[in-house]
Structure 1
Amino acid sequence: MPLLASTIFSASIVVAQVNTDNELDLDPADWSEKDAGIPVTDPLTLEKCGSCHAPDEKGNLSRISWIRATPEGWSQAIKRMIKLNGLSITPEEARSVVKYLGTWHGLAPEEAKPVMYFAERRILDETIIPNETIHQGCASCHAFAQPMSSRRSHREWGLLQNMHKALYSQAEVQIDHAAEGEAASADSSKKPATRGQVALAWLTKEAGLHSKAWADWRPRIRTPKLAGKWLISGKLRGQGRFVGEMTIAPAGDDFTTTTTLRSLETGKTMTRSGKGLVYSGYSWRGTSAGGTQPATPADMTGTLRETMWFAPDQSSAEGRWYWGEYHEFGLDVKMTRVTGGPVLAAVSPLGVKTGTKAMGLHIYGASLPADLSAADLDFGGGVTVRKVAVLSPSEAVATIDVSAEAIVGLHDVALNGVVLPKALPVYGSVDYMKVTPETALAHLGGIKYGKGYEQFEATAWSAGPDGKTGTDDDFPIMTVDADWAMKEFPTVTYDNDVKYVGQLDKVGFFTPNVEGPNPERRFSRNNYGEVWIVATAKTLKDKEGKPMSAQAYLVTTVPAYKRWDQPEVSQ
């Protein structure tokens, strides 16, 4: 499971939300279920789950009918039932049960999208944690997206807390600890609220079993009709942008795929084939392979896992195709269905400076009209299209002028009524650089355990219309060709981490060192450590005429010796 840092955007706690009824003096197992359950109708699920989860007269199965979860959540539950409760089920049966539960006891698209980063295996700062108490009680050991990938009744949230106390030694201390903030200074005559009580009240209100989103979505669930051609645009850190097409064909209840990708940096084309299935009408899980052995760990010609969120109208999709021992490599993907009319995917090059004249801007898409004219294109105020040359139905070149007074920002690219939003950065100056990711994690390995790599990338940024760096109108312009180096991040007087953590190559790719004690280090420490990753631009200069630079923080740590059982759903 990826390690995700946490950003808390609100430290306030509304103590009044904490339930002070006598119910809290009882074990959640003794609480009465007040929510209406969701009946289980699938015969196989009834057969495999009904012997332990007692049915009632309404068709509900105990526990199961009061939970909704993502496919990964249901898969995790089934694996737990096998390991702890002796469930006998074949992989094919488990796959069928997960598909049923992930669809009819799943999440609505609006509920799933904010936590898709969890299924996509992204490492990022979480911004969905409501306060410090819930951060400490629910997100100290795992991402907050873990509980937010499910919806439960009040009783089921209480039983989930019970399960944590039973299975994980530290959970009882975490859950029963006094709440932080306002809750910690509650009326001294009353028993202070605990983190568990605050979390239970919040989750019951904000992530209850029933919601308007689910009530609206449930009658709309239908068999996904995804067959046909889809236009792809994607970006892979360190390797640039890609465009291409995916052809999806039905294969029983699932799908097969054939994908062609073209690098906008090198022009190289690759072909992939794969398969996928869809849960709840919108949630794609798939695999694909390029058919050749990867030459390097970052080479995406091998097998990729595909996690995508399809729009409810099944006209577009977005997600991440990832690989690596720690899922550290990933192609960020957007797809649009090709239906016969023009579709836009990307423009190149990025970063058009104000005052530019007669620049050739490549437009990538599908079904571009052969008679495309300058009048058909619109790049926003201050950008004039002189002429257009159509190279193929998937590529055209527009010759543009950019006024010195053009508004800086991310301009739309429009072909009559078809719009590619915020696709063309127009800038007056490069105001600063960033290194992505700004905070990163790598894992030692190579002897007994796999290595966890990291790819860094330098990006030029504009301060935006207000001219102030670090404000909301700042925007990225383009990637920057840079020289790369590591610098010590001092934590102790004898720090020498740069010497031991690993190697950074000329394109910002970090390869960690091997795991295990190192007799050359003081105290025979492992090769872990903290360093700065520094990028220095080869051509960009700051206001003082010096090369622009930026840095990121990298922690190189030991391997994940223990993996919690939360793999992807089997395909």
Structure 2
Amino acid sequence: MTVTQQDHGLSDREGMTAPGRSVAAFWQSVADRWRNLGKRRLLVLPLLSGTILSASIVTAQVDPNASEAGKDPTDWAEKETGIPVTDALTTEKCGSCHAPDAKGNLSRISWIRATPEGWAQTIKRMVKLNGLSITAEEAKSVIKYLGTWHGLAPEEAKPVMYLAERRIQDETIIPNEPMREACATCHAFAQPLSSRRSHREWALLQNMHVALYSQAEAEFNRPVDDPSAPPPPRGDQPVKKPTHAKFALDWLSKEVPLNSAAWTAWRPRIGAPRLSGKWIVTASQRGHGRMIGTMTITPAGDDFTTSTTLRSLDSGATLTRSGKGLVYAGYSWRGTSTPAGPVARPDDMASGLRETMYFAPGQNSAEGRWYWGEYHEFGLDVKMVRATGAPVIAAVSPEALPTGAKGVEVRIYGDALPASLTPAEVDFGSGVTVRKLTAVSSAELVATVDVAANAIAGRHDVAVGGVVLEKALPVYASIDYLKVTPETALTHLGGIKYGKGYEQFEAIAWSSGPDGKPRTDDDFPVMTAPSTWAMKEFATVTYDDDIRYVGTLDVSGFFTPNVEGPNPERKFSRNNYGEVWVVATARALKDKQGKPLTAQAYLVTTVPAYKRWDQPEVGQ
């Protein structure tokens, strides 16, 4: 079977073609644009770069300040050592356009390393733009090879795993304002950091942006205003500032190069992943609490099958799932799982899940996100520990203990927990005394504890024998304030033609910590706080009426957006988009004045993503 646009879900959102517009017509329009402007030659090269924003197009030199000034990056000599392609299928499918050299390097491919998602995009774009004929199974094999042997080291991948996990979060990895402006004004900064390239390849990626995205040229040619730069020398001679293109090219070439110490050290360690057996799973879903369970991983050829059981620590309800998965580069899991029963509502974890997990290099622990939803807005935060026969502590319940509490039962969940422990062998930290210990099973212990009135507030470790679960049990003297999570949220209208993008809010009780001052570094989250929920107008214009139209918020903090399309009942027939505050009021927690604790989050409800970026999971 030939891989087509439909086979791999290629979308038109990538800036390539508009609906009903041929690829040839698109390229002709691009060529006409540059010809009419009289600015640049348009060169079409045979290889697409590896990330989402990569393509097989380059334009003339966009950076006149580079050391290779006057030459197009396609004419630069590749000075760095490439990574030979040793897979016969990859060479067969790619080598007809990407000429091999005497060392086994394939042009351009050997000077890029990328995540599995990045290489998947490359394959899909080659199909879409260059007519590559490849079956789904062949594509899976090629991506698995490239994602492993031309991938990222664990240390390189872990800081940007949130991109593959589909997490929406504020990025903290952007090094400075010029890099934010050059790379992160249009997409996540994790996007370029999900690949490694030679200096030449980074330059070609910049040129691709200029060819495909008109706004990139203006951004790249702007001079850098870097407050960290040294002051200009005295005199009348103006100082020529580097452009954003030059600044970004220098930073990327230095900080995320093709050849790194991390990759050099990891490459010889890559082997067949040995993950078979039982794993202890802890998971949490916003609005649904914490879960404990097991996953059994079984080899299935080069991949794996899975059987998972999860049990809610709040309700005791259980969920069973079966799935499959594969591993790239020895540590990076991509999988899917399906439930045993029907799906009751959009946030039901019985939905079909995508799984993205990072296995520690020792292959004894993993963490990641299992997610679903039209916008991947629902998900389980997951941690796993291999069951080896040695004691494992996975979770404790309740979520937290107040100082001065007496006779509280604390349940310890795990695996291979000893049945003959004495109270002295179980430790909850300073100020918490174990009075009684009962072994329910090898997976559960019950400790009856007293908490001293002067116990140190904070997140205590829990130890059973010689095994420790760090920061497992908050001990608090007071609840000082609430936070609503997420603090900022984005939802999408839908339900008529397009899918809705939902959101689940949750209120978390916080302690101000030892210093007694709220929102300082020693504050810590204590537990979820049962709350009532309401929306409040976020006033932006004089005729604001957003709370009437954006959607509904139920008693559990679950927000359902309204339908898309112009609304004739609304002023100016506006769509149902808008901005509101989501307000939580604690049912039982009060402040020092005896008033219920409250907190709010900012919610934007916007139109559907009419065209979607194509980045489905790989090989599943």
The TM-score, its normalising length taken from structure 1, stands at: 0.95
Question: By how many angstroms is 1:565 displaced?
Answer: 2.2
Task: Tell me the CA shift for residue 567 of structure 1.
Answer: 2.0
Q: Distance in 1 between matches of 2:202 and 2:606?
A: 34
User: Quick one: distance in 1 between partners of 2:566 and 2:382?
Assistant: 40
What is the CA-CA distance between 1:20 and the residue it aligns to? 4.8
In structure 1, how many angstroms separate the alpha carbons of the residues matched to 2:71 and 2:180? 25
Q: Please name the residue that 2:483 is paired with.
A: 434
Choose from 239, 243, 248 the match for 2:297.
Answer: 248
Contact 2:299 2:305 in 1 (8 A): yes
Matches within 5 A, 1:73-84: 73-84=118-129
| Residue-by-residue CA offset, 1:98-133 (whole Å, 9 max, x unaligned) | 000000000000110000000000000000011111
CA distance in 1, matches of 2:609, 2:519: 35
Q: In the alignment, which residue of structure 2 is the partner of 1:292?
A: 341
* Corresponding position: 1:230 with 2:275: no
Contact 1:180 1:195 in 2 (8 A): no
Out of 262, 270, 279, the residue aligned to residue 221 of structure 1 is 270
Instruction: Kindly state the Cα deviation for residue 186 of structure 1 after the two structures are TM-superposed.
Output: 6.0
Is the deviation greater in 348-357 or in 117-126? 348-357
Match of 2:603? 554
Call closer, same or farther: CA 1:186–1:150 in 2, change over 3 Å. farther
1:174 to 2:219 alignment: yes
| Equivalent residue, structure 2, for 1:153 | 198
Q: CA deviation at 1:313?
A: 0.3
Q: Does 1:257 align with 2:283?
A: no
Provide the rounded CA distance (Å) in 1 between the counterparts of 2:590 and 2:64: 59
User: 1:9 corresponds to which residue?
Assistant: none
**Matching residue of 2:172:** 127
Find out whether 1:468 has 2:517 as its counterpart.
yes
Which of 396, 407, 415 is the matching residue for 2:464? 415
Q: Name the counterpart of 2:394.
A: 345
User: Using the alignment, how far apart are the partners of 2:208 and 2:453 within structure 1?
Assistant: 63
1:441 partner amino acid: L
| Structure 2 counterpart of 1:58 | 103
The answer on 1:509 being equivalent to 2:509 is no
Bigger shift: 459-468 or 307-316? 459-468
Change (3 A) 1:33 1:512: same
1:354 is matched with which residue: 400, 403, 406?
403
Kindly state the Cα deviation for residue 227 of structure 1 after the two structures are TM-superposed: 0.3
Partner of 2:153 in structure 1? 108
Aligned to 1:457: 506
Q: Which residue of 1 aligns with 2:49?
A: none
Corresponding residue of 2:73:
28
Alignment of 1:79-94 (within 5 A): 79-94=124-139
Contact between 1:291 and 1:302, CA under 8 Å: does it hold in 2? no
Instruction: Give the CA deviation at 1:152.
Output: 0.6
1:138 aligns with 2:183: yes
Match of 2:367 in 1: 318
Deviation, structure 1 residue 26: 2.6
User: Which string of whole-angstrom CA distances, capped at 9 and with x for unpartnered residues, describes residues 245-267 of structure 1?
Assistant: 00000000000000000001110
Q: 2: distance between equivalents of 1:197 and 1:463? A: 45
Alpha-carbon offset, residue 162 of structure 1: 0.9
Distance, in Å, in 2 between the alignment partners of 1:102 and 1:418 is 36
**2:96 and 2:83 mapped to 1: Cα distance?**
18
Matches for 1:378-389 after TM superposition, within 5 Å? 378-389=427-438
Residue aligned with 1:421, SS: strand
Residue 42 of structure 2 is matched in structure 1 by none
| Aligned partners of 2:64 and 2:70 also within 8 Å | no
Corresponding residue for residue 47 of structure 1: 92
CA drift at 1:165: 1.2
> What is the deviation of 1:290?
0.8
| Aligned-partner Cα distance in 2 for 1:81–1:270 | 41
- Residue 7 of structure 1 corresponds to none
Residues 396-445 of structure 1, C-alpha deviations (whole Å, 9 max, x = no match): 11011111111111111111221111010011100100000000000000
**Which residue is 1:568 aligned to?**
617
For the residues of structure 1 that align with 2:498 and 2:225, how far apart are their CA atoms?
Answer: 39
Residue 491 (structure 2) pairs with residue 446 (structure 1): no
State how far apart, in whole Å, the 2-side matches of 1:466 and 1:64 are. 55
Matched to 2:517, the amino acid is K
* AA partner of residue 356 (structure 1): A
Secondary structure at the counterpart of residue 362 of structure 1: strand
Distance 1:473 1:108 in 2: 33
How far, CA to CA, are the matches of 1:222 and 1:409 in structure 2? 41
Task: Tell me which moved more, 176-185 or 352-361.
Answer: 176-185
Q: Relative to structure 2, which stretch is displaced further, 376-385 or 318-327?
A: 376-385
Are the counterparts in 2 of residues 186 and 192 from structure 1 also a CA contact under 8 Å? no
Per the alignment, residue 256 of structure 2 pairs with: 207
In the TM superposition, what is the alpha-carbon distance from 1:191 to its structure 2 partner?
Answer: 3.6
1:500-558 CA-to-partner distances (Å, cap 9, x unmatched) read 00000000000000000011111111000000000000110001110000000000000
Distance 1:24 1:30 in 2: 11
Given candidates 326, 331, 340, the residue that maps to 1:282 is 331
2:241 to 176, 180, 192: 192
Counterpart amino acid of 2:460? Answer: H
Q: Which amino acid aligns with 1:59?
A: G
Structure 1: state its 5+ residue gaps: 3-17
Paired residue type of 1:93: E
* Residue type at the aligned position of 1:109: P
User: Equivalents in 1 of 2:221, 2:571: separation in Å?
Assistant: 40
- Could you say what secondary structure the match of 1:174 adopts? helix
The 1-side partners of 2:242 and 2:615 are apart by 32
**Which amino acid in 2 is paired with 1:545?**
G
Counterpart CA distance in 2 for 1:368 and 1:526 is: 57
Deviations 1:49-68 (A, max 9, x none): 11111111111111111111
Partners of 2:72 and 2:220 lie apart in 1 by 14
Asked whether the 8 Å contact 2:333–2:358 carries over to 1, the reply is: yes
Q: Percent identity?
A: 70
SS at match of 1:23: coil
Structure 1 residues 494 and 184: alpha-carbon distance in aligned structure 2, compared to 1, 3 A threshold:
farther
Q: Name the SS of the counterpart of 1:401 in structure 2.
A: strand
Range that drifts further, 155-164 or 22-31: 22-31
Shift of 1:181: 2.8
Aligned AA (2:84): P
Shift of 1:210: 1.0
Who is 1:13 aligned against? none
Per the alignment, residue 52 of structure 2 pairs with: none
Matched residue SS, 2:93: helix
The count of residues paired between Structure 1 and Structure 2 equals 556
